[in-house]
Amino acid sequence: MLVGVDVTSIDRVGSLAARSPRFVSRIYTAHEQAACAGKPQRWASSWAAKEAVKKLYSSGGDAMPAYRDIEVVRARGRPPRIRVRGEETNIALSLTHDAGVAIAVAVRGGRAGKGRPDVPEGLRLPDRPDDGNKGTFGRVLVVAGARGYTGAPQLAAMGAARGGAGLVTLCVPEGIYAIVAAHSLEVMPAPLPDGGTGVLSRDGLETLRERLRTADALVIGPGIGRAQETEALLFDVLRSLPSPAVVDADALNLAAARDFDWHVCSQPVVITPHPAEMARLAGIETAVVQSDRIGLARAYARERGVIVVLKGAETVVASPAGKVHVDTHRVVALATGGTGDVLAGLIGSLLAQGLDAFDAAVAGVTIHAEAGLLVQAKRGRAGGLASDLLDALPAAQERIRQAIEQRNRRPVTDRR
């Protein structure tokens, strides 16, 4: 058994956190910053926990993680947990404070390993009744792709299928239909007339509207490019949405270029920008986005009337009503092309299965990150692919579902 112990002054660490934003940003994750705000004893106990974990790693002969790679995860009704480099560990943690000091004790029986998945308080997943059929679990319509961009539509559609949707239809420009159809087994490809351009255009609008009538959720944007013809179709669709929608990738860039008014959408909309896309939408620099991810996501969601999923390490989900969820995962294996397309399809799947837009976004982000951890454990931190992520989604969702079921069966105890 390996043990790490640390004792630190509450006043010293609390005062440092209050006067030095640079100290806070270098040492604490966004999740920790939200949990510790205004509570000096938490700043101190989290610092002590990180020191205790470093001592534990050192005593075991392991390479010590950086302070910000060690995360103290607090959740109502449960003891605090330790995550290292975005992964759950088997480290047991005890935190106390008394007489002006915070005390942390970290214990593990051997080398750190994967524990149960991190399930946010209140996270919901769609029901999966034993007597359900494909109609029970919703229909997703994915509108994606352009000449030269044939991978993104397939990744988004399979993200929806792997997320549990009963039926997935993939609408692509007629010019790339043959390529996409040749690789589509579990989803239903459908060509949209494109006037020979190979991009989405108003030529396909009537055909698309017919498809939209039977859809429970729409995913639009992956791989569509930024052609003028595509812009016209996109805005026509968004102004007359018959179902909730996920808007991703170049659909966001087109919206940013025209400062599209999301309030005209008659159904809930989830937008899934990475930091550069968020910067274009907000009309600011990417560095400004990254300097205040939570504040910017919250403000944009409130002012523009959309659910914002600001992707990246510690993805932020914000609603127009002011609700904010900060995911605690930091999974470098997800930093590769196509994983965002998978996320868009996954959130669309959860919308089609009946979750509201905020719940679908939070659940999608959590499942996506957990799947990323599974890929990282199997493939390593470099070299995992979006297709690996697709394969990991069912197991990731099941792990989270079982964790929720276990938590619901367990009596709630007071958190220290």
Question: Is 117 domain-assigned?
Answer: no
Here the CATH number for the domain that contains residue 62 is 3.90.470.20
Question: Is 336 domain-assigned?
Answer: yes
Q: Give the pLDDT of residue 413.
A: 44
Please tell me the total count of domains within the chain: 2
CA distance linking residue 13 with residue 45, whole number of Å: 9
Structure tokens at 223: 């791989």
CA distance linking residue 370 with residue 117, whole number of Å: 7
- Same domain? For 211 and 261 the reply is yes
Q: Give the pLDDT of residue 414.
A: 39
- Same domain? For 239 and 173 the reply is yes
Q: Give the pLDDT of residue 365.
A: 98
Here the CATH number for the domain that contains residue 211 is 3.40.1190.20
- Same domain? For 84 and 205 the reply is no
Amino acid at 274: H
Per-block average pLDDT, block size 10, for the chain (416 residues)? 90 95 94 93 96 85 83 88 88 91 86 61 94 96 97 98 98 98 96 97 97 98 97 97 98 97 97 98 97 97 98 96 94 96 98 98 97 91 96 95 83 44
- Same domain? For 326 and 400 the reply is yes
Q: Give the pLDDT of residue 400.
A: 95
CA distance linking residue 108 with residue 15, whole number of Å: 31
CA distance linking residue 370 with residue 364, whole number of Å: 10
- Same domain? For 200 and 310 the reply is yes
Q: Give the pLDDT of residue 261.
A: 97
Q: CB-based contacts of 228: which residues, under 8 Å, 6+ apart? A: none
Contact, 308 vs 316, CB < 8 A?
Answer: yes
| Cα dihedral: 143, 148, 150, 156 (round 10) | -50
- Same domain? For 254 and 363 the reply is yes
- Same domain? For 237 and 370 the reply is yes
Whole domain around residue 92: which residue ranges?
2-108
Contact, 319 vs 358, CB < 8 A?
Answer: yes
Q: Give the pLDDT of residue 113.
A: 41
- Of 108, 130, 156, the one marking the end of a domain is 108
- Of 85, 108, 131, the one marking the end of a domain is 108
Q: Give the pLDDT of residue 410.
A: 62
Question: Is 148 domain-assigned?
Answer: yes
Structure tokens at 167: 């039926």
